[in-house]
Every structure is written in C-alpha cells, then in structure tokens.
Amino acid sequence: MNKHVVGFRTDVRSPYGNLRDKTRGAHFFPVHRCSVFISHDMPCKTPKEAKYQMRVLADRIAANSHFQPTKPDKLPPKLQKVIDAAYLLFEGIDDIHSLESLEEIARRYQRHREKMLALSPVIG
C-alpha cells in the first residue's frame, strides 16, 4: 500500500522468541511489514513514570517518522510469495469467520491450488 508503518512494542514478554533478537520477542510477520520497529520497555510504577515513558516513546516514534515506506519489491522473495498468496485468498474478505467468507476462501484456494501447493516448501 506504499505507506510508512512505525511499529512499536512495549510488552516485555517474549512469546515468539528472545528479547535480544531483532524482533525483541514479537512475531516476525507484523515486524517485517513495518518500515521502522521500535521496542520500548516501559518499567512504570507510578502515573508520573508512565507519563514520562509515553513521552519518550512518542518522541522515538516522531524521530522515525521521516523514513520512506518499505516497497513490496524490496521484501525477501519468499515473504513476497506468502503475501501474494494471502492476497489471493483473503483480499476483500472482511470477516474470515463467517460461513460465507470461509466458503469463498475455500473456492479461491481451489482456483489457485497449484500456486498454494508450490508455496508449501516456503511456508513449511
């Protein structure tokens, strides 16, 4: 969509990895869609500390707002294939949990079955 996306993480839990890795324990997919990813620990015990930490985070976001958006052609080829497949299956579907939407997703999968099967080595 050619938009600049600043992602930030304030949660110190790491369900998807190590806090020392590039994504700081966040899931890789949303992080890789960000132009800039900021991990900001917010050790707040008082409202005053919380207000200060929010100001620091806002300043960090503002400092990163000058970057250009990541263009789709700059994504790793394997990730681009997965995103292309997701568009084939889900584009224009607002509620993936409704029966009608699930049926449409299944029809799209059948129409693009060869492409989906070719992705299996890419996505595991």
Write out pLDDT tens, residues 96-109: 888 999 999 999 99
Q: Are residues 11 and 60 in the same domain?
A: yes
Overall domain count for the chain: 2
Q: Is 24 exposed, middle or buried (0-12, 13-18, 19+ CB in 10 A)?
A: buried
- Extended strands (E) in the chain: 6-9, 36-39
- Residue of higher predicted confidence among 68 and 6: 6
Q: Are residues 56 and 96 in the same domain?
A: no
Q: Is residue 1 part of a domain?
A: no
12-16, 70-74, 115-119: segment of lowest average pLDDT = 70-74
Residue 61 β-bridge partners = none
Q: Are residues 64 and 111 in the same domain?
A: no
Q: Is residue 14 part of a domain?
A: yes
Distance CA 103, CA 109 (A): 10
- Check residue 124 and give its pLDDT: 47
- Residue of higher predicted confidence among 28 and 101: 101
pTM exceeding 0.85: no
Token pair in block for residue 106: 């299944």
